[in-house]
Amino acid sequence: MKHNFNAGPSILPRVVFEEASRAILDFNGTGLSILEIGHRTPLFEAVLQEAVSLVKELMQLKEDKEVLFLHGGASTQFFQLPMNFLSKDTTAAYLDAGVWGSKAIKEAKLFGNVKVVASSKETQYDRIPDSYSVPDDAVYFHYTTNNTIEGTQMHAIPAVNIPLVADMSSDILSREMDFNRFDFIYAGAQKNIGAAGVNLVVANKGFLEKGNTGIPSMMEYRQHVANGSMLNTPPVFAIYVCLLTLRWLKSIGGVAAMEKINEQKASLLYNTLESLPIFHLPVAPQDRSLMNAVFTMKDPDLEASFLQACKEEGMVGVKGHRSVGGFRISLYNALPLSSVETLTTLMKHFASKHG
């Protein structure tokens, strides 16, 4: 029995793996694999349509939203977004609260001016900057809802007067949120919604209309909208895995039910870590992430033996990101509470042996 705490690609529900495997051999009783059917067939069109309508339903989106499934990871959105909306004589505002956000900033600078409204880089991104103002004349404000590497999460939606853009790669559909407040949301699928190779984009129709022209077709959101995510061959299998994961999420009660389970998992883990003095939590308590819990050990010499103990229990993905060190436990939607219970039991045993 494995306990999969990987940060991404990461655990998906067991039923998703089972159904995806069946569809590789025989998709819906057609005698054909999902991997060998044309994307412009009614068979695949039904997959895409159901995935889009489940996104609209689960996120409770209003009529003015477009849902797209696009190629590439979230990193493609780092440059595709400014390529569509920024130019040499305009400015986009960014919050710098983590490694992923700083990469988005770097890419945006290739297309126009960037105003970084605040940064927590000097304290190794151990918190979300809490006082900043966003200029009203910027073309959009971009932030990362959950900083996957550093283990911080923005618990409130910032109030701004300009189009609001968010990278939600590592916490999309994990908690209730007014998704309609955003003009543009993107998320690489491989953390909470499916398999690597596809991006979910949810955006206001009116905002997309304002995009730049004269950029490559595959980069222009308007063209993807006009062609219903089928400007070229979409990542068929990755989208199918998203559909299966979205169906599973709906079956367990949707985002509200998911949030309750995620809160249970995170509070069990954080409470255990706080109760055991051998562990250290570097992140400001008010900004702790419900998706990625980062911690170190006060005695660094114990880290190797803790890692070994985790390994013996079948735990994978507990090592921290190479840029941060220590440990990171990812608690994405599909991770069962029982895996966190096994981990916290191990932590208590380990602490009583070494504390």
Ligand X SMILES: *Cc1c(COP(=O)(O)O)cnc(C)c1O
Choosing from 100, 171, 265, 287, the catalytic residue is: 100
DSSP assignment, residue 155?
-
Per CB under 6 A, the segment of 71-79, 150-158, 257-265, 339-347 that binds ligand X is 71-79
Q: Which residue has the tokens 């390994």?
A: 311
The 7-26 site mask, x for binding ligand X (CB under 6 A), equals -x------------------
Instruction: Give yes or no for residue 188 binding ligand X (CB under 6 A).
Output: yes
DSSP assignment, residue 289?
-
Per CB under 6 A, the segment of 70-78, 107-115, 205-213, 228-236 that binds ligand X is 70-78
Contact pick of 75, 90, 91, 180 for ligand X (by CB under 6 A): 75
Catalytic annotation present for 137: no
Q: Rounded to whole angstroms, what are the CA distances from 155 to 145, 148, 292, 299?
A: 8, 14, 14, 31
Catalytic annotation present for 287: no
Contact pick of 96, 107, 150, 167 for ligand X (by CB under 6 A): 167
Instruction: Give yes or no for residue 330 binding ligand X (CB under 6 A).
Output: no
Residue 96, helix vs strand vs coil:
strand
Contacts of 159 (CB under 8 A, 6+ apart): none
Comparing C-alpha atoms, which of 207, 227, 214, 187 is closest to residue 8? Answer: 187
Number of residues near ligand X (by CB under 6 A):
12
* Nearer residue to ligand X within complex by CB, 145 or 344: 145
Instruction: Give yes or no for residue 170 binding ligand X (CB under 6 A).
Output: yes
Per CB under 6 A, the segment of 21-29, 131-139, 164-172, 346-354 that binds ligand X is 164-172
Contact pick of 74, 201, 283, 340 for ligand X (by CB under 6 A): 74
Q: Are 203 and 224 in contact (CB under 8 A)?
A: no
Instruction: Give yes or no for residue 70 binding ligand X (CB under 6 A).
Output: no
Q: Are 204 and 140 in contact (CB under 8 A)?
A: no
Total number of residues shown for the chain: 355
82 sits in the region (left: phi over 0; alpha: psi -120 to 50; else beta) called alpha
Instruction: Give yes or no for residue 320 binding ligand X (CB under 6 A).
Output: no
Choosing from 65, 96, 167, 183, the catalytic residue is: 167
Choosing from 65, 191, 265, 287, the catalytic residue is: 191
Catalytic annotation present for 248: no
Contacts of 322 (CB under 8 A, 6+ apart): none
Question: Which of the residues are catalytic?
Answer: 100, 167, 191
